[in-house]
Every structure is written in structure tokens, then in C-alpha cells.
Amino acid sequence: MTSSGQSGRIFVGRQREMYELRAALKKSIAGRGGLAMLVGEPGIGKTRTALELTSYAEGRGAQVLWGRCYEEEGAPPYWPWVQAIRDYVELAEPDRIRVEMGPGADDIAVIVPNVGVKLTDLPTPPDLEPEQARFRLLDSIATFFKNSARSHPLVLVLDDLHWADESSLLLLRFIAQQLQDSCILVVRCYRDMELSRQ
């Protein structure tokens, strides 16, 4: 199989993987969202395969957002999700952001300051116990993605997931439970050789 990728280079091989990824994408476009995994050793082409899928998805009207985990210390919690939301917010009109984030915009703005730049009249989130505040944030982000996917199917690519922080994985688990009736496909790329049982 050969097809043109985003970079203009030719993408060769990975027929079975691309078939399965495209099938998962078609299901998500039809409203049966889900998860896909690209697992393997370093340099095997996980990111390149994800790029080919996202090019295919964009050609079918899907919006693609990327988040990349950071290997070194110092990245804030939810870092790959922050990147994806930040990129979305930079390109979207304030009215669209306001509608799709709804009342959860103030919670999301706590970890993605760009939201507050676009929506300048956000209230301060309520003072809650840490567990309650975390649940409210997870629910606000999941609701935002589901709302966004109603107008355009959404592909979320989480790259280098083997370096993800605990908060990012918690959000992934939270969102994964709500994908079935959505137009969202979450693609996870990670090195199996660096995963532990945790």
C-alpha cells in the first residue's frame, strides 16, 4: 500500500495497521468512538503511522489534535491534553469555545490559560476539595471534547504515552469510559519496552 502523507513523502507498508486504524476511524465518524493503540519499539514508525491516519482523517472532515508527553521532569500535569486543548483554542472563535466548553470553561482555564485569554469574563472556579476539583476538571474536559466532536469528528493523538504523568493517564481512563456514543477516536502511541505493570 502506498499513499501520500502530510509531508509529501510516500507512505509504504503497514497495510494491516492502517486498515484497522481506518476502520476505527470510520466507526468513530459514525458515532461509535473508541481507542486505538500503536505500540512498538523506538523507531518502528508509530508516529509516522499516526500522521498517515490523521492525514486520512482530515480528508474526511475530522479535526485532529495532538498531545505529546515529555520525557524529562518539569512538565505540568495533564501536559499532552493541555497541548491538544491549547492548539484547539488558538484556532477557534471565542463563541465556539464558549458553547463547546460550556460551564466547564473556567475549570479548563485553570490548566490551559489560553482559554481565559479567549474568554475574558470567566468566573473563578469554586473552592472545592482536591478530589472534587479534579473530578470536575476531568468531567469538564471530557464534556468539551464530546461537544466539539458533535460538529466535526475528533481524532486525539497522544504520542509518547510511555512518558505520561499520572494525571494524564487518569484523564485518559476517564475519557475512555465515555467514548462509545461519541465521534471521538483516541490514538495512543507508546513504547511497549518502557511500560511497567503500573
Give residue-wise pLDDT tens across range 56-94.
899 999 999 999 998 888 889 999 999 999 999 999 999
pLDDT of the residue at 154: 96
More confident site: 152 or 43:
152
Domains of the chain, CATH where assigned: 2-69+77-192 (3.40.50)
pLDDT of the residue at 125: 86
pLDDT of the residue at 193: 57
Q: Does the pLDDT of residue 198 top 70, yes or no?
A: no
Q: Characterize the bridge pairing of strands 10-12 and 154-159.
A: unpaired
pTM flag (> 0.75): yes
Percent over 90 (pLDDT), the chain = 67
pLDDT of the residue at 102: 96
Task: Find the Cα–Cα–Cα–Cα dihedral 24, 191, 165, 58, rounded to 10°.
Answer: -30
Cα 49–52–53 angle (5° rounding)? 90
pLDDT of the residue at 14: 64
CA nearest neighbour of 78 among 155, 16, 156: 156
Mean pLDDT of the chain: 87
More confident site: 77 or 54:
77
Residue 190 binned pLDDT confidence (cut-offs 50, 70, 90)? confident
Reading across the β-sheet that carries 154-159, which strands appear in turn?
A: 34-39, 184-190, 154-159, 63-68
Beta strand extents in the chain (DSSP E only): 2-4, 10-12, 34-39, 63-68, 154-159, 184-190
Q: Does the pLDDT of residue 100 top 50, yes or no?
A: yes
What is the distance between the alpha carbons of residues 115 and 136, in angstroms, rounded to a whole number? 16
What is the distance between the alpha carbons of residues 48 and 20, in angstroms, rounded to a whole number? 15
pLDDT of the residue at 192: 72
Return the C-alpha cell found at 131.
Answer: 478530589
What does the pLDDT average to over 25-54? 85
pLDDT of the residue at 98: 97
What does the pLDDT average to over 127-142? 96
Q: Does the pLDDT of residue 196 top 70, yes or no?
A: no
